[in-house]
Copies of this chain bind each other. A is one copy, B any other.
Amino acid sequence: MNYSQIVNQIKLKKSFLCVGLDSEYNKLPKHLLKTQNPIFEFNKQIIDSTVKYAIAYKPNSAFYESRGIEGLQSLIDTVNYLKKNYPEILIIADAKRGDIGNTSKLYAQTFFETMDFDAVTVAPYMGEDSISPFLSYKDKWVILLALTSNKGAEDFQYFSENEQKLFEKVLEKSKEWGNRENMMYVVGATRAEMLTEVRKIVPEHFLLIPGVGTQGGSLQEVTKHGMNKNCGLIVNSSRAIIFADSSEDFAKVAAQKAEEVQKEMSSLLRF
């Protein structure tokens, strides 16, 4: 999926919502546990009911890996289901991988060939050769961690050299490796005011923004500081949508929550 296809979807749906499929087994509605493939069944119903309001889905691989073979199968099934039924959707593997060059190449293969994800989140600590293997795929995306939404972000991401913070260095340096057509950045919504700084360095790139909703970020603040002329934002919401209800109506309630977010997004979009 390329840059303009993403922008077109945002225009079409008046939404820049990504639904995070953090489908933790222990949090699934009880009635689904009797089905053969509960996590996939849950995802399928969530996707079908929210897809009108979303342009992207983002399964976090930890929630699948922790269930072993069965979990991996649910992840594969979810990606295949999305590709088959909603090919216009951006599918993000939230996997936060990163290793030496020849190993990162195999991670790229994992997410872009073995599974057919459009994008994968990557950790920057190991530098260029850990990231560049993901960039050699046409119409696939690296989403590089820059400034994350968790408390621990403060431990190292604000470390600074000559008044440049580490996350700013990551943004600056990685511009040499990728561009707005193959690279996005994770910037946490809990630090919306930092988006102004981020935009000075990467005005054109898409930013994937986690932390709106449960983690306390505000959509208005994010838009104010981070939106560019092509929107340039993909805002993720996970638990606040997918686990809003645990009854047999869970998918309907998820759709209502997604619609609420989409409505707010629609009012904030400038095209």
Interface residues of A (CB under 8 A from B): 22, 24, 60, 62-63, 65-69, 72-73, 76, 94, 96-101, 103-104, 106-107, 109-110, 113-115, 123-131, 145, 148-157, 159-161, 166, 169-170, 173
Contact = CB atoms under 8 A, between A and B. Distances in A.
Number of this chain's copies in the assembly equals 2
Contacts of A160: 161
Contacts of A22: 103
A149 to B, nearest CB: 7
28 contacts: A60-B103, A62-B97, A62-B110, A63-B106, A65-B107, A65-B110, A66-B109, A68-B115, A69-B69, A69-B73, A96-B98, A96-B123, A98-B123, A100-B152, A101-B151, A101-B152, A125-B125, A125-B148, A125-B157, A126-B152, A128-B155, A129-B151, A131-B152, A156-B170, A156-B173, A159-B161, A159-B166, A160-B161
B126 A150 contact: yes
B126 A66 contact: no
A63 B99 CA distance: 11
Contacts of A130: 150, 152
Contacts of A106: 24, 62-63, 65-66
Contact of A129 (B103, B115, B125, B152): B152
A125 B96 CA distance: 10
Nearest to A62: B106
A190 to B, nearest CB: 11
B173 A67 contact: no
Contacts of A127: 150-157
